[in-house]
Chains A and B, each alone.
Chain A
């Protein structure tokens, strides 16, 4: 028998409110066995002055396995996740081979059994993410998938997207709803573009991707969601126009949800001035006006979740020209601190964007994101809001180092993380 642990005098913030309490975690059953005051256990962690939250859920991470294990593996990505306070990560399907069959899903799940947090595979909407043939969605749902996305690319063809939505809407889902998540980018408008189209791209001579390339697809998918009644989730919203359209669609009662990344609510296209490919990302970093709109969307409920779009790339692949380097940046370890720093939100609202709201979109609410209570799976994180640290790619758990926040002083960090009752992060260090 492993010793039980009591988290003493922490400030619990979850769907049940904001209160000081003790939490008892039993690593043997993997469950929370008590929440209350004056509780005891074999061991104790003093949580006085610390916040205890349900473990975070990331709707959007590239764990690179199978296919690009030099940049990240499911194991190393899960270490980064728990260092960031996450206990569940939705793995994107743009792997090699593409996660578009039950066999690859099984492979991801198998690797996930050695991970430090739950790895929930998403699968491609189309075979090979090529936008021509539907992936076997029913089989994939049978293997546990609930999020379908061709992320990395948007589904370009209107008719194909209509069919995918119609087909997905009719599948049995075992009361865990299926959602199609879109990377909104009309490629005809972004061809040759490597950063946001605007004053900076003009000056730097870099090809631009206009905001309208994202907005047109958001508009189309809202229309198709209305037509088909299927749920659509918008990934990494980056433009003010997109936020406005999603806001209007929600007001009209449409079944749409959206996420935003920390880099899109904290960084702008001016970051690209030094041609450093670390700042190359799709969708691109946009203007201050867009950053403000994304923050507003997070504040007023238009955007449901903070997702990282954690995208590891090897140092050598980022040592190419801005045009040649692959897009993407690390995000798991910095997400919480950047959100705390950049978003002027009540803490409970900020945590909602990282916990129960994304858990609902990923259909993981039976074990993630819900209020901390006896009998629930012990997936939680202890946050030190005052911990000051400096982000450096070198010290991150990811194999890659491409953090856009290199050298930035941050405040707030996950100190301990428990997944299924196991203390996977202890005093800022992963335990395996």
Chain B
């Protein structure tokens, strides 16, 4: 593995391996000094062609906790997004000598295009409405930790499926891991699909949220955007809440152990009631926390010393390796120095 572009590219063995790695990094993050030198000397560029504070901060922290050097290209303020060809942009970044490029772009397919123009590893941090594979991985990680196995679980993806990269990558990943995926949302915000096939996988499309609520293990609520009203996809946010929102009344009808997820940022009182977002069922902050360890796992897998091979699935001993390199969790100075360089 030397790219992470879409969930479709991942085998189940690779997913299992990444999630196991993430668990060992959770342990690292629980230490007093949550840092290992695993990627010392490696350079990670965060190429963000679209505003993002959360995902960028999460990748930034993940790289630093592995002791990689991090540089940031923030678009909007630069010529990156307009005019210049992607190839020129990428060749410029590559020429600086980088090991990985983490790409966020408003247009689908850009990380794939970038991977054609660079020898560095490319990680998709969200490309338009297409994919957001690390989000799917961190959600799978969160569910495994909370529910144990994902296989056979009934996971509801609810809301604006059409415009959501989270929906595309999570439906693909959950389905790969054996979950039953249920999709619910206004018809104007569902993608073209034939019967139960959506995005090339089999899902259950339901119209009545209330009917399905008691049967699910996970309610995954997607962010709804104000623009959908101008686009005539929705009449009002109030109506959206009443038909598709996870209200307190609906949450009360969920099974006792069922959980609630949201990729953030939330519109409290629209797709999710504030009291539901803050309830015991809600895994929302756990998702954010797991984002760092999952992204560490991805970076380590792509840039670290050992390339994972499908054939040895399950055989790895990274926790031991970290302890060997850094037995007491100590932190040396040269390392700290190396982290200072940030290009803006």
Does B199 reach chain A (CB closer than 8 Å)?
yes
Residues of A within 8 A of B107 (CB): 321-324
Closest CB in chain A relative to B176 CB, distance in Å: 15
Contact B108 A204 (CB under 8 A): yes
- How many chain B residues touch A (CB < 8 A): the figure is 28
Closest CB in chain A relative to B139 CB, distance in Å: 18
Chain A 317-329 interface mask (CB, 8 Å, partner B; 1/0): 1011111100000
Question: A198 to B198, alpha carbons, bound, how many Å?
Answer: 11
Residues of B within 8 A of A253 (CB): none
Known contacts A203-B200, A205-B168; decide if A197 and B192 are in contact (CB<8 Å): yes
**A207 closest partner in B (C-beta):** B129
CB < 8 Å A-B pair total: 69
Contact B105 A321 (CB under 8 A): yes
Interface residues of A in 222-273 (CB under 8 A from B): none
Question: A239 to B326, alpha carbons, bound, how many Å?
Answer: 63
Question: A323 to B197, alpha carbons, bound, how many Å?
Answer: 25
Residues of B within 8 A of A85 (CB): none
Closest CB in chain B relative to A205 CB, distance in Å: 3
Question: A166 to B193, alpha carbons, bound, how many Å?
Answer: 42
Does A275 reach chain B (CB closer than 8 Å)?
yes
Closest CB in chain B relative to A288 CB, distance in Å: 14
Does A199 reach chain B (CB closer than 8 Å)?
yes
Does A274 reach chain B (CB closer than 8 Å)?
yes
Interface residues of B in 117-131 (CB under 8 A from A): 127-131
In the complex, which of the residues A274, A319, A322 contacts B85, with contact meaning CB atoms closer than 8 Å? A319
**B130 closest partner in A (C-beta):** A205
Does B86 reach chain A (CB closer than 8 Å)?
yes
Contact A205 B127 (CB under 8 A): yes
Known contacts A203-B168, A203-B199, A275-B113; decide if A323 and B192 are in contact (CB<8 Å): no
Chain A 290-325 interface mask (CB, 8 Å, partner B; 1/0): 000000000000000000000000001101111110
Interface residues of B in 78-106 (CB under 8 A from A): 85-88, 105-106
Known contacts A199-B194, A321-B105; decide if A205 and B128 are in contact (CB<8 Å): yes
Does B165 reach chain A (CB closer than 8 Å)?
yes
Contact B108 A205 (CB under 8 A): yes
Contact A321 B191 (CB under 8 A): no
Contact B193 A202 (CB under 8 A): yes
What size tier do the contact residues of chain A reach? Answer: 20 to 34
Question: A323 to B130, alpha carbons, bound, how many Å?
Answer: 12
Contact A321 B110 (CB under 8 A): yes
Closest CB in chain B relative to A95 CB, distance in Å: 22
Closest CB in chain B relative to A151 CB, distance in Å: 26
Does B34 reach chain A (CB closer than 8 Å)?
no
Closest CB in chain B relative to A400 CB, distance in Å: 14
Residues of B within 8 A of A198 (CB): 192
Contact B109 A202 (CB under 8 A): no
Does A34 reach chain B (CB closer than 8 Å)?
no
In the complex, which of the residues B86, B127, B168 contacts A320, with contact meaning CB atoms closer than 8 Å? B86
In the complex, which of the residues B87, B108, B193, B194 contacts A322, with contact meaning CB atoms closer than 8 Å? B108
**B85 closest partner in A (C-beta):** A319
In the complex, which of the residues A204, A205, A274, A319 contacts B86, with contact meaning CB atoms closer than 8 Å? A319
**A208 closest partner in B (C-beta):** B192
Known contacts A205-B128, A205-B129, A316-B85; decide if A199 and B192 are in contact (CB<8 Å): yes
Question: A409 to B301, alpha carbons, bound, how many Å?
Answer: 40
Chain A 126-153 interface mask (CB, 8 Å, partner B; 1/0): 0000000000000000000000000000
Contact B192 A204 (CB under 8 A): no
**B165 closest partner in A (C-beta):** A205
Chain B 125-166 interface mask (CB, 8 Å, partner A; 1/0): 001111100000000000000000000000000000010010
Does A201 reach chain B (CB closer than 8 Å)?
yes
Question: A205 to B109, alpha carbons, bound, how many Å?
Answer: 9
Known contacts A204-B130, A320-B86, A323-B128; decide if A199 and B193 are in contact (CB<8 Å): yes
Contact A274 B191 (CB under 8 A): no
Does B112 reach chain A (CB closer than 8 Å)?
yes
Contact A206 B192 (CB under 8 A): no
Question: A321 to B128, alpha carbons, bound, how many Å?
Answer: 11
Contact B191 A202 (CB under 8 A): yes
Contact B192 A202 (CB under 8 A): yes
Please indicate which of the listed interface residues A197, A316, A321 has the most CB atoms of chain B within 10 Å of its own CB.
A321
Residues of A within 8 A of B197 (CB): 199
Residues of B within 8 A of A199 (CB): 192-194, 197, 200
Please indicate which of the listed interface residues B87, B108, B130, B194 has the most CB atoms of chain A within 10 Å of its own CB.
B108
Closest CB in chain A relative to B179 CB, distance in Å: 19
Residues of A within 8 A of B131 (CB): 205
Residues of A within 8 A of B130 (CB): 204-206
Question: A204 to B85, alpha carbons, bound, how many Å?
Answer: 21
Residues of A within 8 A of B (CB): 197-199, 201-206, 208, 274-275, 316-317, 319-324
Q: Enumerate 29 A-B pairs (CB-CB under 8 Å) in ascending A order.
A: A198-B192, A199-B192, A199-B200, A201-B191, A201-B192, A202-B193, A203-B168, A203-B200, A204-B109, A204-B130, A205-B127, A205-B131, A205-B165, A205-B168, A206-B109, A206-B128, A274-B109, A275-B110, A275-B112, A316-B87, A319-B86, A319-B113, A320-B85, A321-B107, A321-B108, A322-B107, A322-B109, A323-B107, A323-B128
Residues of B within 8 A of A (CB): 85-88, 105-110, 112-113, 127-131, 162, 165, 168, 191-194, 197-200
Name 9 extra pairs, CB < 8 A, besides A202-B199, A275-B112, A321-B109.
A202-B191, A204-B109, A204-B130, A206-B128, A275-B110, A316-B85, A319-B85, A319-B88, A321-B113
